[in-house]
Each structure stands twice: as C-alpha cells, then as structure tokens.
Amino acid sequence: MTSYIGLIRKDPESDFGVDFPDFPGCVSAGSTLDEARAMAHEALSGHIACMREDGEALPTPSSLDVVMGDPDNREAVAFLVEVPEVDRVVRVNVTLEESLLHAIAGRTSNRSRFLSEAAREKLDRESA
C-alpha cells in the first residue's frame, strides 16, 4: 500500500473539507470527521483510478515535514490515506480484426480498459 497525506480543514460555517497536497484539485468533504475521512479515501481512490486509466504517473508521496512546513497547512490536521499498489500501465500495440474493434468501440470509449477487463475475466476463469 502507498499512503498520501490528506489535510482536513474546517471553516466555522462549513463541513470538514479535505485536500491532498500531492493531488492539486482533488478535494472532498464530510459533515463529520469520520465522514470526511471516508469521503477522502473515496475521492483519492477515484482520482488515482482516473490517472491510471489515462496512463499518468502518480506522484511520489510528500513527507509530513514538507507538507506541514508549508504555512498554508499549519491550521490543517494531517492524516494518511492508503491506496493499493497497482502495476505500472504499459502501452502496447495489438492487432485485432476490424469487426472486433468496431464491436468494442460500440460498447465503450476506453478500449484499453475493455481489453484489460476481458483479459482479467478470462485469466480468472482459467485459474478457477
């Protein structure tokens, strides 16, 4: 597992907000601390899943010293959000029958994900 720092912030008239220094723009919130923490995990997992689908590299987790050394973060409460490790995504070229390619395109806009899921399903069936 890899852990990234989430920062909980609370303004007097708002819910608990969460942001991630390593993922600018990825934010979440909750009306309680527990809800904010759970929603933070969901938000970060979703953000990372999208990055992986797009073939983007994940940032190296920042250290707590660096994050809390930023004056803008001194009022925030830091906590760790764990995300599972996933194999690195590698671009490959494949050859498919044109009719098969059109059939896949008719079902999804993300052919890579479709082919990955189909391969996993077949491998799971064969290993069972």
pLDDT along the chain (128 residues), means of 10: 95 95 96 95 92 85 96 96 78 92 90 87 88
As to burial, measured by CB atoms within 10 angstroms (0-12 exposed, 13-18 middle, 19+ buried), residue 52 is middle
Q: Report the pLDDT value the prediction gives residue 91, as an integer from 0 to 100.
A: 81
Q: Supply the pTM of this predicted model.
A: 0.67
Contact 105, 114 (CB under 8 A): no
Q: Report the pLDDT value the prediction gives residue 81, as an integer from 0 to 100.
A: 95
Token digits of residue 12: 């007097």
Q: Of 18, 22, 26, 3, whose CA–CA distance to 82 is shortest?
A: 3
> Residue 48: which residues within 8 A CB-CB, separation 6 or more?
23, 58, 83
